[in-house]
Structure 1
Amino acid sequence: MISRRNFILTTGLATTAVLASPSFAFYMNKKEIGLQLYTLREELPKDVKGTLEKVAKAGYTTVETYGFSVKDRFWGLTPKELKKILDANGLKAVSGHYNLGSFLYDGNTTELIAAIEAAKILKSEFLTVPWVDEPFRRNIEDYKKIVARINEAAIMCKKAGLKLAYHNHDFEFQKHDGITGFEILLKETDKDLVFFELDLYWVVHSGNDPLQLFKENPGRFKMWHVKDKDKNNNDLNTEVGSGTIDFKPLFAAAKQSGMVHFFVEQENNFASNSFDSIKTSCDFISKNLI
C-alpha cells in the first residue's frame, strides 16, 4: 500500500517534472492537433464563423492565426470578436503569425505593439515572426540586423507575458560566406527569449534534416509546421501522410526538439477542397503519429 506521505512525494515529483519541462507536460496528455489558418486563406475572409466551425469539426483544437494588421485587424474582426468565435468552437489560438509592419527593418514598433496586444487578448502563448522580405536578408550583416530586432521584440513580448518565435522557409538555409542565415538566427538570438517554429516541409525542401537540427539545437523548436511534399511535384504540398515526408521519426524525436505545439499547414494542391484536406491530415496524424 502506498502511504499518504509517499503518494504526496511521488505526485509532487511528477508535478515538479511537468512544471520544469513543458514538453514533458505535452507528452503526459493527449496531444492537441493545430491548424495554421493560412491554409484556409480563401475561406476565412468570407466567413470567419463558419470556417472556424468547420475547423473544429475536422478535429482541431488549436489554431495559429495569420493576417493581423492595425487597419484590418483579423479579417475585419477585432481580437475580442475573434476570441469569442474561437471560444464558441473550443479552439485556442496558441500562436499567431504577425508581420510586425516595418519593425524588423527600421525599428518602428507601431505594428509590433498592436500585435502584442492582439496576442494577449487571444491569450496566445507565442507571437511568431513569419517572414523576412528579400531585400533585407541578402548577406550576413542583414541577418545580424534582423537578429538584433528579434531580440528586442522578444524582450517586449516577455514583458507582456508572451514568447517570441521565428518561422523559417527555405531561404534561411542559403549560405553567405560559408554560413547560413538560419545558423546566425540560432546562434545569435537569445536562447532564453527567442524560440523557433520549424517548418518541416521547408527544412526538407532545402535539403536539410530536421532530426539533425533537433540534435544540434535541443529544445529550441517549440513549434512545428507539419505539411507534406507532393509525390509528383515536390514544389507542391499535399495532405499529411499522402506525400514523401516520413513524419514518424520526427514525431518520435519531438521531445528532443522541445516541441509543445504543432500546426498542420497546406498552402496548395488540395485533393478535393481545403476542408476535406484538413480533415484527411488531422485523421492521419491522430491515427498514426500521436
Structure 2
Amino acid sequence: MGKKIAIQAQLWDNANLENDFTPIFNEILEAGYDGVECRFTVMKQKSKLKDYLKDHSLTLLGLHAHPSVFIENGELKNEFYSLLHDMKEFHIPFLLVSGHPTPTEEAQLSLVKSLSILADECQKNNIQLVYHNHDFEFANGYELFDRIIDNQNIGIALDIGWLYRANYPLDEFISKYTNQIKYFHIKDTTKKEWKELGTGTVDIVKAIATIESIAMEWWTVEQDNSVLPPFESANKSREFLTKLGY
C-alpha cells in the first residue's frame, strides 16, 4: 500500500505526445496519477516540459526507447549521452528499453551486449536501465532473461500483461528474478485485447498481491490501446487501483 502510481502515455498515442505533451499530461493528472512514463522524444519539448513540471505535481518517472536508438555496432551514439544529460537535469530515474523478436542466437547475444553497455553507462549516471518484456522474449523459455541478469546493472521492467500472454506464471518469474525486477507495468488483457484494469482475464487482484512481494515505490499502469477515449480508460484503471487501496 502507499504506492505512487504512474501511467504510460502511449495510451494517448506517441504522435500526439510528440506534437504537444501538455493536454496528455493534464488528463493524466486529472485522472489521479502521480507520474508518467513516456517515449524519450518528449525531451524535444524540453523547455516547455521544464516549465510544466515546475508548475504541476507530476513526476516524469521514466523514458522509453529501443536500444538501437542509442547504440550501433557496440558503440554508444551522441544521442545517448545527450539523453543522459537531460535525464539527470530532470531527475528522471528510469530508462526503459525493449527489443524486437530475436530469432537467432546471434541476434539475442547482440541485444544482451547492447543492454550491458547501455546499463553500465546509465549506472555511472545514477540512472536505472530496465528491459521491458513483451511475449516474444519467451520463445526459448527464460534464456534471454537468464543472460540479461549476468550484468547486475540491467534491471527488468516486468510487464504482467505480456507475461500473461506468454503463458508464464507471474509468481515463478518473480521468484526467479526478484533481485533484478526494478519496475512494474500493471496491465490487464485478454489473449488478444488490452483492457482496463479489472476488466480483462488476468486475475489482476491476485497479480497485484503477488508483486507486492517486491518493495517498490512506484507502479506504472500501461495499456497499449483501448476502445475507450484515453482519459476514460486511464480514469477507469486508476479507480480500480483506488478501490484496492492504492
1:192-231 correspondence to structure 2 within 5 Å: 193-230=153-190
Whole-Å separation in 1 of the counterparts to 2:144 and 2:21: 36
CA contact (8 A) 1:221 1:258 kept: no
Query: Which protein is bigger by CA-based radius of gyration?
Result: 1
The secondary structure found in structure 2 opposite 1:225 is strand
Give the partner amino acid of 1:164.
L
Counterpart position of 1:236:
193
Cα distance in 2 for partners of 1:83, 1:65 equals 15
Deviation of 1:75 (Å): 7.3
In structure 2, how many angstroms separate the alpha carbons of the residues matched to 1:145 and 1:101?
Answer: 11
TM-score normalised by L of structure 1 = 0.77
Question: Residues of 1 paired with 2:63 and 2:69: CA distance?
Answer: 17
Q: Give the unaligned 5+ runs of structure 1.
A: 1-26, 69-73
Matches within 5 A, 1:19-58: 30-41=2-13, 43-58=16-31
- The alignment status of 1:265 with 2:230, answered yes or no, reads no
Are residues 1:247 and 2:204 paired? yes
> C-alpha displacement at 1:199, in angstroms?
0.8
1:105 deviation in Å? 4.5
1:46 to partner: Cα distance: 4.3
Which of 222, 231, 245 aligns to 1:275? It is: 231
Correspondence for 1:61: 34
Residues 179 and 50 of structure 1, relative CA distance in 2, 3 Å threshold: closer
CA drift at 1:212: 0.8
- How many residue pairs match? The answer is 244
Conserved in 1, the CA contact under 8 Å of 2:171 and 2:210? yes
Note the alpha carbon deviations across 1:211-262, whole angstroms, 9 max, x for none: 11111222321111112114xxx21101111111112222223343354422
CA–CA distance in structure 1, aligned partners of residues 114 and 245 of structure 2: 36
Structure 1 residues 120 and 99, CA gap change in structure 2 (3 angstroms)? farther
Give unpaired runs (5+ residues) of structure 2: none
Q: Greater relative contact order: 1 or 2 (C-alpha under 8 angstroms, separation 6 or more)? A: 2
Structure with higher strand content: 2
The Cα shift of 1:66 comes to 0.7
Give the aligned CA root-mean-square deviation in angstroms.
Answer: 2.2
Identity among equivalent positions (%) equals 25
Paired with 1:257 and 1:125, the residues of 2 have a C-alpha distance of 18
Q: Verify: 1:184 aligned to 2:147, yes or no.
A: yes
TM-score by length of 2: 0.89
